[in-house]
Chains A and B, each alone.
Chain A
Amino acid sequence: MSADHSSMKLVATLGGIAVFSGLLLSLTYEITKPMIAKNESEALEAAVFEVLPGAVTRENYLLDDVGLQKVGEGSSREANLYAGINEAGERVGFALSGEARGYADVVRVLYGYNPETQQVVGLRVLSSNETPGLGDRIEKDPAFQENFTALDASLAHEITTVKNGEKTEPWQIDGISGATVSSKAIGKALRDSTHEWVPQLHAALEGSLE
């Protein structure tokens, strides 16, 4: 190719390819969107049961300034927390979500909160992009998961992530060495989310008890 062709041609080629790419991508996005949404809602259902030990059915709730309202299936309003009901029909706790910036991307978690004991009783990472083999251990590491069977979330103390092996208090999370940023992200997600929701939830629960 000779050197005398204008830079217009370069711009036009790149622009043309970019427009074509955009078309292809928006098409793919539209086609896969409902499938991805369905997958995500199924994963959410499984996650709710996992973070609330004993739960067998789920009730959707919307918690806002008005108070705690039940959201039926197929309702246009989006639920922001979920109650887990055990086989005896008792409510075992609420599943709430939280998020914080991790090492690679935002880490989203779902955790079970028991209003009676004011404890976090289970945690599951909903989505993360942490480094395989290092940061992604927050999802599976059994010793790390052990932190969330009875984590004090009473707001009298801040939930904090400490170095591996230095956990001494019930509101501390024993971090994973080699996954410091990711462990801290979980701590921050829980801290921010409990600060926001726990007072509201307790206020709403007291209001509903006559």
Chain B
Amino acid sequence: MSAKEPETMTLETFTQGLWKDNPVFVMLLGLCPALAVTNSALNALAMGLATTFVLICSGLLVSLLRNVIPKQVRIASYIIIIATFVTMADYGIKAISLELYKALGAFIQLIVVNCIILGRAEAYASKQKPLKSMINGAGMGLGFTLALLSLGVVREILGSGTVFGMQVMPDRFQTWSVFVLPPGGFFVLACWLMLFTWIRERKSKQEAI
């Protein structure tokens, strides 16, 4: 994260968050919502998209104001900006579906303190041009959404036998309730982390040879 960012915009600006610096699988940030609301694929998707929205908008605003905000009050300013967009997302989800709003509960408001967003504002948007910050934010947000979906889909299949509410497992399938409960989140996250670390290590070994 602290590596020097190239001046020009490259594909890397966008893909950084998707793979190399994936917020959940590589940086291990934002684990609280990643564990808490991924008990179904739909919740995971909604949470991911809400976070992406906040990342893009706050990235834009922080970047636009990067030369205006004095450094003593920068964190306070970022928090106000982030909280504004989170509250907008909160109203938006409530307007779209009350069911979904209830399922996500307090975790929408808690996007305010999601370290991915504050981290992006501090480490990226406050130093980069608006468009670049937005694209990087979008990449990070989608990376987060993908990670949440990977957790949500697995947990929903094993825990309820469905994906997005549609039955995918045969009727005989005995659902493992533990996967929709909090411990299931830890199990699934650990398995994904194992897989990702294994792939990364294999890749770096191959490059070394």
Q: Is there a chain A Cβ closer than 8 Å to B88's Cβ?
A: yes
A13-B83 CB under 8 A given contacts A35-B95, A40-B98? no
Which residues on A are within 8 Å of B, measured CB to CB? 1, 5, 9-10, 13-14, 17-18, 20-21, 24-25, 28-29, 31-32, 35-36, 39-40, 43, 104, 127, 129, 132-133, 136
Binds A, one of B70-78, B150-158, B164-172, B186-194: B70-78
Question: Do A18 and B80 have beta carbons less than 8 Å apart?
Answer: yes
Residue of B nearest to A136 (CB): B105
Residue of B71, B77, B91, B107 near A1 (CB, 8 A) is B71
What's the dominant secondary structure at chain B's contact region?
A: helix
Chain A facing B: main interface SS = helix
Within 8 A of A (CB), among B48-80: 65, 68-73, 76-77, 80
Kindly list 13 other residue pairs between chains A and B, CB separation below 8 angstroms, not including A1-B71, A36-B98, A39-B98: A10-B70, A17-B65, A21-B80, A21-B83, A24-B88, A25-B88, A28-B92, A32-B94, A35-B96, A36-B91, A39-B95, A132-B36, A132-B107
Cβ of B87 within 8 Å of any chain A Cβ, yes or no, is yes
Residues on B facing A (Cβ under 8 Å): 36-37, 65, 68-73, 76-77, 80-81, 83-84, 87-88, 91-92, 94-98, 102, 105-107, 181-182
CA separation between A40 and B95, bound complex, in Å?
Answer: 9
Cβ-defined contact, B73 with A21, below 8 A: no
CA distance in complex: A39, B69 (Å): 40
List the 6 shortest-distance A-B pairs measured between CB atoms, nearest first: A35-B95, A21-B84, A32-B95, A32-B91, A28-B88, A39-B98
